[in-house]
A and B are shown apart, each in its own frame.
Chain A
Amino acid sequence: MSTRAVVEERAVRLYGTLGRLWHWVQAGCIGLLLLSGIEVHSPSVVRILGFQRAVSAHVVLGFVLVSNALFGLLYHLLTGEIRQYLPGRYQVLSRVAAQARYYLKGIFRREPHPFQRTPERRLNPLQQLTYLAVLNVLLPLQVVTGLLMWAAQRWPGFAPVGELPVLAAVHSLVSWMFGAFLIGHLYLITTGPTPLAYLRTMISGWEHPAETSAQEQEYERTAA
């Protein structure tokens, strides 16, 4: 058996097709929503579509994102993938602390990740908490304020909580947070075995343990 075959054999399918589709549609929507949102919010900073078209694009993208989120929810519920996001009941704090310790210390010493990625548990405890917050707090908040703003402008008689000045303030603040999340997210995906390894996995769905093991070997060698 060749080395390559061994590697292939040991390759793990971390993400299914639908899961990846959901992720990438969401990623594209959020990226474009941020861009068109900036143009709507501040046409002098970003000038791509022009104000009027930027508004239209933003609204359409918003509806695509909502649809995708509903689809994602259904997918995660029906397939049980939802469990991936639940940190579990025991030792949550200590596991989070371990992951945090890794990012603050271990990563500089090329220690292995405290939690190995497996199809059953792809996310580390810190990720689980973050995604829970993003998907269950930020995203719904943004979707609800966005929808209300849209409805309030379409049907002026429709008077949701706080009217536009409040809705727009929340919507703006949350979009800044999405921006911050995006920056952190993009950075953290470079913390894999190689800077692009996680990105490749998210595209193909497969993780190649060869790389992992290479890194572990490296660590063992230097440690010794």
Chain B
Amino acid sequence: MHDRVIVAGAAVTLLTLTPGVGLFAPSGAAERPAPEEKPTTHVQPKKSHTDHATLIRGPFAGGPSVTRVCLGCHENAGREMLATAHWTWLGDEVRVPGHDEPLRIGKKNLINNFCIGVQPNLARCTSCHAGYGWLDASFDFSNQNNIDCLVCHDTSGTYRKDADHGGVVAQGVDLLAVARSVGFPTRRNCGTCHFAGGGGDAVKHGDLDGTMSQPPERIDVHMGRLNFDCQECHRTRGHKIAGRSMSVSVEDAGGVACTQCHSSAPHREQRLNAHISAVACQTCHIPEYAVETPTKMSWDWSTAGQDRPDADPHEYSKLKGSFVYASNVKPEYRWYNGRAQRYLLGDRMDPNQVTRINYPQGSIADPAAKIWPFKVHCGKQVYDTQHNYLLAPKTFGPGGYWTDFNWDQACRLGSKDTGLAYSGKYGFAATEMYWPLSHMVATKDKALQCRDCHGPRGRLDWKALGYEGDPAKLHVRLASTASTHCGQCHGLVHLDASPLAIPAGSRKGMTETTGEVFSDQRLCQSGLNLAGKDSLDRPFDVHAERLLECASCHQKAGDAGRNPRADSGSENQPRLESAPASATKPDHRRGHEHNNAQCGTCHAARELHAWLPYSDRHLEKLSCEVCHIPQIYTPAREQVDQTVIGPDGSAPNAYRGTDGSPEDPAALIRGYEPVLLAREQEDGGTKVAPFNLVTSWSWVAGDPPKPVSREQLRIAYLEGGRYRPEIVKAFDADGGGTIAPHELRLDTPEKVRVVQQRLEALGLSHPQIVAEVRPYALHHDVAGGRWAIRDCGSCHSKQSRVSAAIELAAYIPGGVLPKPVADAKARLDGKMTVRSDGRLVYEPRLADGELYVAGSRGMRMIDHIGAMIVSLTFVGILAHGTARIIASRRKVKV
């Protein structure tokens, strides 16, 4: 019997538990997609280097004597160095496009369009060679003692190489101190040559310059924020340093890649990850190069040799010719598959065309190619007009151009060193060099946004890249009507790069009634004085950021869609008062009533919210806007008081979301949290949606009551542009003889009576104040997932947004409480309360009625009853227990 009970009980328990837990699990436990593994986990901790201060004894006669001491302990280092490009200035054998046999190319035998070629100018150029004494072809590349260990390993900062004696140690260097300071190379060591390529700081690369010795993060996020040494990315083993420069290599094997640390799909936004097959990381993340120090953009040798002592050395030098420098340069964009074409000495060129000294390979048809950012350096340099090839002239040293300013002689001497025949006839030809950018990676908030490439002010030349046109336009089908046209009436549309501002008098349409702004700009980059601005790196509206235009959603052209507000019979219409020409507006009726069905036109809400517990329930009860418009960041109209009139005939308006007037650029803008109301859907159901509430007061008179016109009100209050004496007498509380703005309120029965009498004097019968509150639905200022409400507690808590009150008015003109407008689709069934400071506040009661929001303050009645039952029980047992204790004591005593 007993056994059967156990078995049956266990079976029932299991049977009930399994479906229960199983059903429950997928609903709450579904996780959001795992974010990218933190890239910094790949960063190696900085190693400490053996302190050589006590290990090294001098004195040293010269560089090689130090090297001998180094090699005494580091036996392999010499052999390793002899094989590196830093020593040989030559790469391994490669196939160069246009040349059949494999070649070894490198700095040693290539030319560029800066100082052109090293062979005729070795003594000067080899001041950047990691060795001592490479003056001519007789240099012994097998002698390890000629290696310059110190240029890379000095940490004292005092080591210098002589500028023009084949890289020997400069005069006056304390070699013992330098040798004792050796450590791992720092950015400064590498920068000795790589920041100064082309003959000076920042000249050559554009993305490498002296600011990177100690860069702030706005110059480079890796070296600035994370303090990376070069080797962090240019991983180094046995003195072999990873990395290839397209200026001297034609391939990128053994190069550096972002994916060493970052995943190949690092963005939360899948649309961005979809770009990765066609766009290099650098393209978006290096929006500009030469961030601080100007870099050389062009170099014209043909003008050299003139005596122009007054010329700016950044524009002209007698030795070198004319230059153009630039900073904060937008890169040029080309397809690049990691391989490059290369002009080699002796290659034929067409002097009438721009000769590309190097050029990235790849095209839109090449699956390995991506769009990369480049610095393009334009040159004009000497060539042989008979043989039609570029020459490497001797510029430095005896007989060189910089000594005698004689091109013919410079070319002749140069040709001896290069072995390339010189005909005796020279000219100057245009050349180009391409420098792919990988440094000066900006912080992510500065990365390019959709509109930087797509849309009318995009920076890519789509046709040149092989596209038919802007692919976003092709695929997204941007509407032809420009949003800015809509903005002329409907609110602020700001789609250009200038910092967004709302100048005085420009508030209109939805920007006035709700504070909504249609702009792709990030809040932190706007010109508005926003509270907490620095951290607001979201755009005003994510749809604007994603290239949508007004017409992308409002596209029911030809539909009889109407704006229900425009033809409602309500007494006053704040939104129309500034648009008296509304009657003559062009008939461009479109679907103004925007609902979830329209979000659903593009968005698959159910699939996207699988992570959300009880997602179906949330989607059933809430409009998308509830979570995706968490906050409006610009001021919105709150109260319109047409019961009084300003000296200029205006009605005082009050705004929410700002500490001052919305016209005051210095006032701090806090924005506001929309109020949530139940809103009828087209299918007859209701959903909660966010709103702004605008309350307005005005006079009506007659039977049936008709609005008192602005003109009638003006006559009632003003006479010859000034307030009438009886008005001043009633309103001027402080006896100042004038009516201050805060006194211009119908806040006492006396004031109301005086105005009533004035209106009656104008022949109006029974003048009285009416008031209404009008909800304005919010559909713009949409936040993407990252900025949407995700915290359960923002609704499921005591401070729930669902029951959060919103201020309707700072004061109540005439003591008349506003009524909800009759035609509103939103239900205003909450409570209006007057706070002790005179403010009128709307308290929604959604959570008390149809909507149950766990954790919010609903169910107060039930809780009171329940608490009473529990308290009574508790009091009962307390009394009983006490009585028991007392009783037991008495017994013991007796």
List A residues at the B interface (Cβ < 8 Å): 18, 40-44, 50-52, 55-56, 59-60, 63-64, 66-68, 70-71, 74-75, 78-79, 103, 107-110, 152-156, 163-165, 167-169, 172-173, 175-177, 179-180, 183-184, 187, 190, 222
Contact = CB atoms under 8 A, between A and B. Distances in A.
Given A51-B855, A56-B28, A59-B28, A109 B887 contact: yes
Given A70-B12, A71-B10, A156-B621, 8 more contacts: A42-B855, A43-B796, A51-B855, A60-B21, A67-B13, A71-B12, A156-B620, A179-B870
B849 to A, nearest CB: 7
Given A41-B855, A51-B792, A52-B792, A78 B4 contact: yes
Complex A-B, nearest 10 residue pairs according to Cβ-Cβ distance, in ascending order: A176-B866, A63-B20, A108-B887, A164-B852, A67-B16, A156-B620, A187-B877, A180-B873, A44-B798, A71-B9
B869 A177 contact: yes
Contact of B797 (A51, A67, A152, A172): A51
A109 B858 CA distance: 47
Contacts, number: 151
Nearest to A68: B13
B47 interface: no
A163 B850 CA distance: 9
A182 to B, nearest CB: 9
Contacts of A169: 859, 862
Interface string B861-888: 0110111011011101100110110011
A163 B880 CA distance: 41
Contact of A74 (B8, B23, B621, B859): B8
Given A52-B792, A187-B881, A176 B865 contact: yes
A43 B855 CA distance: 6
Contacts of B793: 43, 51
B869 A156 contact: no
B27 interface: yes
A66 B613 contact: no
Contacts of A42: 798, 855
Contact of A108 (B9, B13, B796, B883): B883
B604 interface: no
Given A156-B620, A172-B862, A40 B887 contact: no
A179 B16 CA distance: 26
Nearest to B796: A51
A176 B28 CA distance: 26
Contacts of A109: 887, 891
Contacts of A173: 862, 865-866
A114 B9 CA distance: 35
Nearest to B614: A153
Nearest to A147: B20
Contact of B869 (A63, A164, A176): A176
Contacts of A183: 870, 873-874, 877
Nearest to B876: A184
B617 A156 contact: yes
B198 to A, nearest CB: 59
Contact of A176 (B617, B849, B867): B867
Contacts of B616: 154-156
26 contacts: A43-B855, A51-B793, A51-B854, A55-B28, A56-B29, A60-B21, A63-B16, A63-B17, A71-B13, A74-B5, A74-B9, A74-B12, A78-B4, A78-B8, A109-B887, A110-B891, A154-B614, A154-B617, A164-B851, A169-B859, A172-B859, A173-B865, A173-B866, A176-B867, A183-B874, A187-B880
Interface of B: 1-2, 4-6, 8-10, 12-13, 16-17, 20-21, 23-24, 27-29, 613-614, 616-617, 619-621, 792-793, 796-799, 849-852, 854-855, 858-859, 862-863, 865-867, 869-870, 872-874, 876-877, 880-881, 883-884, 887-888, 891, 894
Contacts of B854: 40-41, 51, 55, 168
A153 B621 CA distance: 10
A166 to B, nearest CB: 9
A34 to B, nearest CB: 11
A36 B29 CA distance: 17
A66 B862 contact: no
A108 B884 contact: yes
B864 to A, nearest CB: 10
A165 B849 contact: yes
Given A78-B4, A180-B873, A187-B881, A165 B851 contact: yes
Given A79-B5, A109-B887, A173-B862, A52 B798 contact: no
A220 to B, nearest CB: 13
A164 B613 CA distance: 17
A59 B27 CA distance: 11
A86 to B, nearest CB: 20
Contacts of B619: 156
B9 A52 contact: no
Contact of A52 (B2, B613, B859): B613
Nearest to B848: A165
Contacts of A50: 792
Contacts of A79: 1, 5
A177 B865 CA distance: 10
A55 to B, nearest CB: 7
A103 B613 contact: no
Nearest to A73: B12
Contacts of A156: 616-617, 619-621
Given A44-B798, A55-B613, A66-B16, A165 B850 contact: yes
Q: Tell me which of B10, B616, B873 has the highest count of chain A C-beta atoms within 10 A of its own C-beta.
A: B873
Nearest to B865: A173
Q: Tell me which of B8, B9, B10 has the highest count of chain A C-beta atoms within 10 A of its own C-beta.
A: B9
A42 B887 CA distance: 40
A180 B870 contact: yes
B28 A52 contact: yes
A190 B877 CA distance: 11
Contacts of A68: 13
A52 B790 CA distance: 11
Contacts of B863: 172, 176
B852 A56 contact: no
A156 B891 CA distance: 63
Given A51-B792, A74-B5, A177-B866, A63 B884 contact: no
Contacts of B870: 176, 179-180, 183
B866 A66 contact: no
A44 B28 contact: no
B238 to A, nearest CB: 52
A41 B859 CA distance: 9
Nearest to B28: A56
B884 to A, nearest CB: 6
A56 B869 CA distance: 28
A41 B797 CA distance: 8
A15 to B, nearest CB: 14
Contacts of B792: 50-52
Nearest to B620: A156
A194 B125 CA distance: 101
A22 B368 CA distance: 67
Contact of B17 (A67, A154, A163): A67
B866 to A, nearest CB: 3
